[in-house]
Each structure stands twice: as C-alpha cells, then as structure tokens.
Amino acid sequence: MTDLRERAERILRQPVRLADLALAFEETAASTAEVHVGGANFFPPILEDIGSATSSVHVNQFGFKPGAIGERFASALLDKASEGVSVRLVVDSVGSRPDGASRKLYERLLNGGVDVRVVRGTGWWASPQPAAAGGSRRWNLDQLGHVDHRKCVLVDGRIGWVGGAGVEDHFADGRFHDLFLRVTGPVVSQLQLVYLATFRWLGGTPPLDQLDVLLPAHDDEAGSVPATVLHNAPGSYRPITVAIAELLEGATETLDVVNPYVCDKPMIGRILAAAERGARVRLFAPGKPNNMACAAAQRFHHAALLDAGVRIVEYPAMLHAKAFVRDGEDVLIGTCNLDSWSLKRFFELDVLVRSPALAAQFDERFSAPAELISTPGQAVSGPLQRLSSAAFAAISPVL
C-alpha cells in the first residue's frame, strides 16, 4: 500500500504522459470477489453501491449514453455530486458521443457538478472535456487511434466493478449478454491508481489532500484471495495480452474462453493447442454476433478447433462478456477482446483472481446457464461461406 500511495502522490503532483499509463502491479488481494451475470443482475447492485458512496465515485466507461439505464446512472451520479461527493467520469468519444447524440446528457452531468473527461481517439485538435464544458482545445496527438474500451466503477476506493458492459439499454434489457466482477479489498487501490493516472492525463486535478479517502487502508480479512489488476495502455507494455496468452498456454485440465470477437490467430492457436494437450476446452461465442467480419474470421478456424476437441458454445443473443477460467482456479475478467485492436491498441482493464470458489461461482452463474440455452458451433460449409471466412481471417490483424 505504501508503494501505491507513493506512486499516486507522484501522479497527482506531476504531469502525466501517455507512457506513464503503462502501470505494472504486483499480486495483491481481493477481500471479496463475485461475478454478476446479465444487466438485470449487475446494474442494480452497481447503482446501489454508487448510492452508498460517502467520499468518491469514479466511473470509466466506453459507452455511457442516453436511455433508461443511462438516466438511472446519470441521476445516481448527480445525486451524489449534490451531496458533496467527488464524482468523476471518464468516457470515450467514440463509444459515448458526448459532443453529439449524448450532448444534453453531458450538459446535465457537467452542470450538476460531475467532472467529465473524454478520451478522443479521433481528432487532431480537441478538448479533454465534452464540448459543453466550453474548455479550450489542444493538440491531441497522443490519443489518436487509441480508443478507451474500459468499463469500471469505483466507490470510495473500497468497491470496484470491472466488466464488459456499457451504460446502454441493450445491456440492460438482455439484447447484449454480459457480466461484471465486483471486488473489495487491496486490489481496488490498484484500480484506483489506474483511474487517477488516466484522469490526470486528461487534465483533471484530484486534490492531493484527498489521497487518504481515495486510497483507504484495507483490513486483512479471512477468505481473501490473490488478485492483480492488469492494464493495457497504448504502447509496448500489454500485460492483459501477456496474461491471456499465459492462461491459454498453461491450461492442463480445463479452459473456458468467453469472448465476442475471437479472431486473433496466435490466440486461436493457443486455444487449439490447449485442447490438443488434453484440456477440456469450451469457447463461448455469440450466436447473434454484432460484428460479422470478426464472426466470419473466427468461423474460419471452427473446423480445426472442433477437430481438436474444443466445444464451441454459441449463446442465442449477442454475447459480449470477456472472461477466461483456467483449471478451475484462475479467473480473468474485464474488457479485453481477442481481436487485434483490444490486444494491441486499445485501453483495456482486467482483473486476474486466483480462487477456486470464484471459478465455481462463474460456472454456476454463467457457464452452466449458458450451456442450457446455447447451440453447438459449427464449421463453415459451402464454397461461398468458406471463401468469405478465409478472406476475413486473412485480414484479422486489422479487425
């Protein structure tokens, strides 16, 4: 904790560059770790935790848009801000459209005291805040091409939520099936450091005298489990990408891969090798994909995966969750997809937890119910389908 506080002090005292966002963490602990599956099961407790905040609410969201669930979140954040709680929000310009279709929502948030910052992967000359804030623009070269795909909620520096869903109605009503991991304990301080570094990089200035509440002490609790935050920031340091590869390569008994966009050839090769080693491998994918190019690229590999013994499970809706469970113990949950953009270019955030109990809970709450309503994945058939899937597989490095 001392090391984290020293790092946080440096972040709040000095300018933060893009290179400073390549944060590495040693293994720490989660006092509790729990999987919540489906918007009806994770949005209410997230909002309940926000409602309990007494010092700070920090949200990092790729997609935070107007709608029924967006209104509930906006109201919750505005209520906290009106109580004097520090409310900070980081969104992505592509995913949230704060200057376009979502402008009125962000005007309300800004007028209500929410400090909003925007990651802009497009635009040479841009403001680090929504246009409604009226701030000056600056050169935006360090953000170009780098989408912020993270989804995280932090409450009082004590509760952390990390998952794949945006604050958008299609996650709330089941059209997109997703999940979140809720953690407490020391691992939340690692999430907080990632957030503070990003906020400073975007020109925000959380006061140094708030560090005691932003990084509170965490008591040792019985039942704590090993946990580590992994953060992919643009550059050569990609700990999530490395961790996924190591999980796939190290599986000896069981391996569950849950991902909507499985088209990176080296990662597919590792999944294939795990099955060939004798591990029982399940690949959960969307039966109704929203990205047909990625789906076609993935299906090019179905024949080889099926021949090796991989069980491909196609969920009947748009499965959007990102999770890996190895050998009934190691659980990785977060925002990173198995496509080139997530693995190499985007901002991504995952949490690695070593816990047989969490792995069993994951199977109970996600895998087993998904199996009951899903259909087996098939190899592509027919000359046109094979040609199409081969073409998209060939260009998978740019998908």
Domain ranges of the chain: 2-14+28-223, 239-398
Mean pLDDT to the nearest integer, 172-198: 98
Mean pLDDT to the nearest integer, 164-178: 98
CA distances from 228 to 76, 185, 354 (A): 29, 11, 9
247-283 pLDDT, tens digit per residue, is 999 999 999 999 999 999 999 999 999 999 999 999 9
Query: What's the pLDDT score for residue 145?
Result: 85
What's the chain's average pLDDT?
Answer: 96
pLDDT > 90: percent of the chain: 90
pLDDT > 70: percent of the chain: 99
Query: What's the pLDDT score for residue 234?
Result: 87
Asked whether the beta carbons of 157 and 128 are under 8 A apart, the reply is no
Longest dimension (CA), the chain: 65
315-352 pLDDT, tens digit per residue, is 999 999 999 999 999 999 999 999 999 999 999 999 99
Which pair of structure tokens corresponds to residue 324? 């890996």
Mean pLDDT to the nearest integer, 350-367: 98
| DSSP symbols for 222-247 | TT-EEEEEEEE-SSS--HHHHHHHHH
C-alpha angle 248/336/29, rounded to 5°? 75
Fold match between domain 2-14+28-223 and domain 239-398 = yes
Q: 279 or 143: whose pLDDT is higher?
A: 279
DSSP state at residue 253: S
Query: What's the pLDDT score for residue 141?
Result: 86
92-104 pLDDT, tens digit per residue, is 999 999 999 999 9
Query: What's the pLDDT score for residue 221?
Result: 82
Query: What's the pLDDT score for residue 182?
Result: 98
- pLDDT of 168 over the 70 cut: yes
d(CA 151, CA 60): 5
Q: Which residues contact 140 (CB under 8 A, 6 or more apart)?
A: 120, 123, 124, 125, 126
Buried b or exposed e, range 55-67, using 16+ CB within 10 angstroms: bbbbbbbbbbbbb
42-91 pLDDT, tens digit per residue, is 999 999 999 999 999 999 999 999 999 999 999 999 999 999 999 999 99
Topology of domain 2-14+28-223, per CATH?
Answer: Endonuclease; Chain A (3.30.870)
275-308 pLDDT, tens digit per residue, is 999 999 999 999 999 999 999 999 999 999 999 9
- pLDDT of 178 over the 80 cut: yes
Query: What's the pLDDT score for residue 109?
Result: 98
Both ends of the chain: CA-CA distance in Å? Answer: 39
pTM of this structure:
0.97
Q: What is the 3-state secondary structure (H, E, C) of 75-137?
A: HHHHHHHHCCCEEEEEEEHHHHCCCCCCHHHHHHHHHCCCEEEEECCCCCEECCCCHHHCCCC
* CA neighbor of 327 nearest in space, from 278, 291, 371: 278
Query: What's the pLDDT score for residue 135?
Result: 81
Query: What's the pLDDT score for residue 1?
Result: 59
Query: What's the pLDDT score for residue 98?
Result: 97
d(CA 298, CA 393): 7
Topology of domain 239-398, per CATH?
Answer: Endonuclease; Chain A (3.30.870)
- pLDDT of 215 over the 80 cut: yes
Asked whether the beta carbons of 252 and 279 are under 8 A apart, the reply is yes
Query: What's the pLDDT score for residue 144?
Result: 87
* pLDDT level of residue 134 (50, 70, 90 thresholds): confident
* pLDDT level of residue 242 (50, 70, 90 thresholds): very high
38 φ/ψ sector (left φ>0, alpha ψ -120 to 50, else beta): left
